[in-house]
Structure 1
Amino acid sequence: MIAPIVAVTGVAGTSRPSAPPETSVRLPRIGTSVALTVAVMVSSAPSLLPRPAVTQALFTGVLMASALAAAWSARRAFGSRTPARVRLQAWSASVGTLMSIGLLSANVLWQNRLRVAMDVETVDWRYAAEVAAGAICVASVLCGLGRAATGIGGVLGRGRSMILIAIAGLLSYVVVAPTVWSAVSDSFSASNSVVDEAVSAPSSNTRSGAPASLVPWRTLGREGRKFVSGGLDPSTVRAYVGLDSAPTLDRRVALAVADLDRTGAFQRSVVVVAIPTGSGWVDENAVTGAENRFGGDVATVAVQFSSAPSWATLLFAEDDARRSANAVVRAVAERAASEPAPPDIIVYGQSLGAVAGSDAYLSIGRSSPGVCGAVWAGPPAGTVNTEGATVVANSSDPVVRWSADLLWSPPSTSTTRPDAPMPMWLPIVGFVQTSVDLVAALDVDAGHGHRYGTDQGTAMHRCR
């Protein structure tokens, strides 16, 4: 991992008395060898989830390039010193290379431990070879780009370079970012409206989108249509209101309650208020689990508040999610309270849905005894109040672990259930590794990572 990041010195036909022989290999400085070895060590530390060789190579290559940049910056900041002896340079390069090989081999062993636990195909030595080759290529490209940028900066001078960077940053903030976000938002909205012909409108009048429903089928959105068409028991109630079903939040909530009334939902024993994720998705596993848990004597309702993915909603529209959750839970609780025998109301949310639903559950649950249970699946670390709620969280889920606190303190595992080997936490390294694992959090089967099964629904308890 280290020896290839060196250069050959000497040019045919030239003579430099103080230079090494023309055919010799220029050894990396000791600081460079140490920096590269540390980069490989950090990238090879145990992860939460299995990684493809491409992902691991890209991660390792970026860290190697960053380490080289840090070593170069340190030399510039602290000045040149007397070059180390060639023997010491050779020793540090050799030890660093051997350590890197050992670290890559250990990473293969860890990857296979995870893959066996998650029923994923194991890897062999070729995985390490692909990671090493890919990382060297990535680091070389990034270092080349860095040298080019440094050269351009040298030609322009420090003052002009700073002005150019400031102008580029201002244009990105004022023009590029809003334009990109507008285009992406339009794309999300268009995708939400696409009708999948493979998904058929329900025929049971206990579902939104059915012929007798107050909510037209085409207005439910992509995820809403999947929601109302799912399940094995068509007699269960599933009500859903999409963004296109009504122009405002208040009208969407009122429409949801009216459609629940139409189906006789408030005469069921349990009403589950499912807070969807950013795109409007409600996990079918959770709803199916709840319907099995209560023997079909249950109604589930969800109101869409966004068509953007959860990460985008969490960054730019978290308040919309919270307002929607609060309005739906409150409206359902008030309508249920008017029944002679009110149903139990359970609030359910996964990921962003848990973030949005937790405030509503605590605030409304205190004043409305009908709201008597909650289940949070895969709640993001430090964002959900779990008081009085059931938490379903995989120990391999990076979403429930990731926070800035990982830089200096280990994650809390009090609410997680073991589903795979757990890596030892290390300062900074734990944060970096978990951040990379977020990319593949959904690339596993239910029961691992940020994927959950029917136990989300079967974990719901009757309130009386």
Structure 2
Amino acid sequence: MTALTVVLATVVSLAPSLLPREPSVQGALTGVTIVLALIARRLVLILRRHLTGRTPRPGSRELRLPVAVVGASAVLVAAATAHHRQNRLREAMSVPALDGRYWLDSLTVAVVVVGVSLALPRLARVLGRRRDAATAVAVVLGIGVATVSASSGEAVDTVSSPTTLSAGLSGGSGSAVAWKDLGREGQRFVSLPSEGSPIRIYVPLAAAPDPSARAGLAVDELRRAGAFRRAHLVVTVPTGSGWVDAAAVRGFEAQWGEDVALVAQQYSDRPSWATFVLDRRAAANEARTLVAALRAHLSTLPEQQRPALHVYGQSLGASGASAVFDGTDPEPCALFLAGPPAGVRTTHATVLANVSDPVVWWRPSLLWSPPELSHARADAPSPPWIPVVTFVHTTVDLLTSLAAAPGHGHRYGEDQARCTPAPG
């Protein structure tokens, strides 16, 4: 039974994914899946013994060889299928194809994860300390997540010297937010290369104690920078980490040039996937508060002098952006959504979503029902939905969604800022 458990876990770990995987990610997933399967099997045996009072007898020795042959064959078939599937994804995303080294590296990582995880309880007994099952599971998951996270990509934007910043940028001359207080994501946002005189206001999480105070600061910064004299004002709702996609910034500024100002207000500084899973409501609350403050200020201006208000969001930011229009339909080109999380639906919005984007797939109901992808563009082959298994693989893909090639996964281009409203 142990061999069958390992085989089944390995086959599950090789099921189709949305994105190409690094060998460290595949190996960590395989290793963690095997360990968790062995833990589950052990718990089932303990429960069975407790209920029946009998200890299961070991399997027949005569069956060991046939079981080993069948198991090895199943793993080889699963690996060959995974190899083919990965290369189809890589071809669609212009990524180099796999070679034999990939599977050797994956196997090495899997063996290390399994070996370390199984050695921990024995080490604990040697040291005279005891660990319960929950702690063992936490350690296993920690090893896997740490390995996967170490392989995940982050968007890298150039951060220039604060001495180059103009008065139209937070952290620049006259700004109420100092350069050092903007944080990494704020510094990236305001210092992106641009032609002309950009206006980009960024209010970091630590700038004020609550959303209302941060929104008030944002309005003051926009007024100081002269943003309300421009024809277009774009609220860019950040992702969970506070990141604003440089491609979207370039897209809006290419579309409207000197007639646009952008403002972003941070609501979290945790990794995007962690905020996405643990605290989705923060984005909606922050976006509503900022837009309400902006609308209140715009109402004090002569109607012919009010800039057009647009709201943009990517990932969890898309969830926050769409919440601004709860119960109402936005005007054409008033709402831009890129990579919206599953379940986010707003009519008359400009929506850009990749079928290979795990954010577009992931929701708890993915455990028992297939995703709804009618709004997504087919940028790569879409894997078949498998109950439970697809949910697990999509969750892993969330951790590496920004490591995809441009135009795939959770990486979108300047076209996310184009005004192409969907029919209502």
TM above 0.5, yes or no, is yes
Aligned to 2:144: none
| Identity over aligned pairs, percent | 42
Aligned to 2:314: 350
Q: 1:63 aligns with which of 27, 33, 41?
A: 33
User: Which one has more relative contact order, counting CA pairs under 8 Å at least 6 apart?
Assistant: 2
Aligned to 1:115: 90
Q: How does 1:46-445 map to 2 (within 5 A)?
A: 46-76=16-46, 77=48, 79-80=54-55, 85-145=60-120, 165=132, 198-246=160-208, 248-314=210-276, 318-337=280-299, 338-341=301-304, 342-362=306-326, 373-382=334-343, 384-445=344-405
Hey, what's the Cα distance between the residues in 1 that align with 2:37 and 2:29? 12
Q: 1:216 to 1:370 in 2, by over 3 A?
A: farther
Q: 1:142 to 1:167 in 2, by over 3 A?
A: closer
What is the Cα deviation at residue 208 of structure 1? 3.1
SS of 2:313's equivalent in the other structure is strand
1:247-270 deviation digits (Å, cap 9, x = unpaired): 554343223223323333233222
Hey, what's the Cα distance between the residues in 2 that align with 1:407 and 1:431? 5
What is the Cα deviation at residue 302 of structure 1? 1.5
What is the Cα deviation at residue 452 of structure 1? 1.6
Hey, what's the Cα distance between the residues in 2 that align with 1:203 and 1:125? 49
What is the Cα deviation at residue 237 of structure 1? 2.4
Contact 1:286 1:456 in 2 (8 A): yes
What is the Cα deviation at residue 123 of structure 1? 1.7
What is the Cα deviation at residue 409 of structure 1? 1.0
What is the Cα deviation at residue 272 of structure 1? 0.7
Hey, what's the Cα distance between the residues in 1 that align with 2:177 and 2:237? 18
Hey, what's the Cα distance between the residues in 2 that align with 1:244 and 1:354? 22
Moved more, 106-115 or 137-146: 137-146
What is the Cα deviation at residue 459 of structure 1? 4.1
What is the Cα deviation at residue 42 of structure 1? 0.6
What is the Cα deviation at residue 43 of structure 1? 0.9
Q: 1:109 to 1:165 in 2, by over 3 A?
A: closer
SS of 2:335's equivalent in the other structure is strand
Hey, what's the Cα distance between the residues in 1 that align with 2:4 and 2:356? 31
Aligned to 1:176: none
Contact 2:230 2:258 in 1 (8 A): no
Letter in 2 for 1:361: F
Hey, what's the Cα distance between the residues in 1 that align with 2:219 and 2:346? 27
Contact 1:407 1:428 in 2 (8 A): yes
Hey, what's the Cα distance between the residues in 2 that align with 1:107 and 1:317? 34
Hey, what's the Cα distance between the residues in 1 that align with 2:85 and 2:415? 28
Q: Which structure has the larger Rg?
A: 1
Aligned to 2:143: none
Q: 1:129 to 1:412 in 2, by over 3 A?
A: same
Moved more, 225-234 or 407-416: 225-234
Hey, what's the Cα distance between the residues in 2 that align with 1:351 and 1:251? 25
Hey, what's the Cα distance between the residues in 1 that align with 2:3 and 2:132? 32
Hey, what's the Cα distance between the residues in 2 that align with 1:52 and 1:166? 30
Q: When the two structures are superposed, what TM-score results if normalisation uses the length of structure 2?
A: 0.81
* Aligned Cα root-mean-square deviation (Å): 3.4
What is the Cα deviation at residue 215 of structure 1? 4.3
Hey, what's the Cα distance between the residues in 1 that align with 2:417 and 2:24? 36
Contact 1:291 1:457 in 2 (8 A): no
SS of 2:117's equivalent in the other structure is helix
What is the Cα deviation at residue 351 of structure 1? 1.7
1:33 aligns with 2:8: no
Name stretches of at least 5 consecutive residues in structure 1 with no aligned partner. 1-30, 173-195
Contact 1:35 1:68 in 2 (8 A): yes
Hey, what's the Cα distance between the residues in 2 that align with 1:126 and 1:315? 34
What is the Cα deviation at residue 286 of structure 1? 0.7
